Structure 1
Amino acid sequence: MLEDNKIILFDGVCNLCNGAVNFVIERDKKNIFKFAALQSDIGRELTSKLNIDTSKIDSIILIDGEKHYIKSSAALHITKHLTGGYPLLYGFMIFPKFIRNAVYEYIARNRYKWFGKRESCMIATEKLKSKFL
């Protein structure tokens, strides 16, 4: 599909997730990432194709060619491609996945309570339309 791009699927109604998308866009100087809401047609198509149960994974998924990453692994793989010191965060991969994901899941479980929720998915501005599928 988009061989040269990595696709980030995110919860389109989550304010924290939308903020994270904007954060990545600002630091994606090599234009590596494309984005789609999990709730969008393309998001549902991709998760179905990869047999990802979105009732269990509902916050962030990174699709990188034939591979995909979820939860903390997705977030840390994304940091490898950002500008600035953010690639250093990939070092947290040394921690066992069950520890990383416990922290990730705690934040994900509380994201609506702490950061709020939108009525509908984010609409990309004209300037950013090319970043979204």
Structure 2
Amino acid sequence: MNLPDGHPVIVFDGVCGLCNGWVRFLLKRDRRQRYRFAAMQTGTGRGLLLANGLDPDDPMSFLLLDEMGARTDSDAIIAVLIGLGGAWRMATLCLLLPRVLRDPPYRWLARNRYRWFGRKRTCFLPDMTQRHRFIGL
């Protein structure tokens, strides 16, 4: 996988209220501007999902592409938090819990995300100061 400018890419659901909140959370805390973002509703996002075996029409996970490859579910969440550095590296402790126990709650949340957090009519659009961090716009 060729990462844009060597930056990890997060493919997220651009119309999901929870997913948009996650992206805003990361934009605020990723002071090194490590991550790039692609909404799964864009051609780029759809292509990345398909290339990594995920259905862009029934997304149950977001996708992290980094130097380690493609990661989904709780592995992706933990890796992103660790990548923020600082105290966020404590997320490493979550890896002590086996994936078989971490992923079912993640998938349960993913299945119910629209019901609990809402669905937007349009994809999240960054402001001009953050636009360079989004690919496929």
Distance 1:59 1:51 in 2: 11
* Between 50-59 and 100-109, the greater mean CA deviation after superposition: 50-59
Q: Which residue of 2 aligns with 1:64?
A: 66
Deviations 1:18-54 (A, max 9, x none): 0000101111111110001111111012122333333
Q: Which residue of 2 aligns with 1:41?
A: 43
- Aligned in 2, Cα 1:105/1:58: closer, same or farther, shift over 3 Å? closer
Q: Which residue of 2 aligns with 1:101?
A: 103
Distance 1:45 1:66 in 2: 19
**Counterpart secondary structure, 2:95:** helix
**Counterpart secondary structure, 2:84:** coil
1:121 paired residue among 123, 129, 132: 123
- 1:89 corresponds to which letter in structure 2? A
Distance 1:97 1:88 in 2: 17
Structure 1 runs, 4 residues or longer, greater than 6 Å off: none
| Residues 74 and 106 in structure 2, CA contact (< 8 A), matched pair in contact too | yes
- Aligned in 2, Cα 1:88/1:65: closer, same or farther, shift over 3 Å? same
* Between 84-93 and 15-24, the greater mean CA deviation after superposition: 84-93
TM-score, normalisation: structure 2: 0.88
Unpaired runs of 5+ residues, structure 1, are none
TM-score, normalisation: structure 1: 0.90
**Counterpart secondary structure, 1:68:** strand
> How far does residue 57 in structure 1 lie from its aligned partner after superposition?
4.0
Unpaired runs of 5+ residues, structure 2, are none
Q: Which residue of 2 aligns with 1:76?
A: 78
- 1:52 corresponds to which letter in structure 2? L
| Residues 15 and 116 in structure 1, CA contact (< 8 A), matched pair in contact too | yes
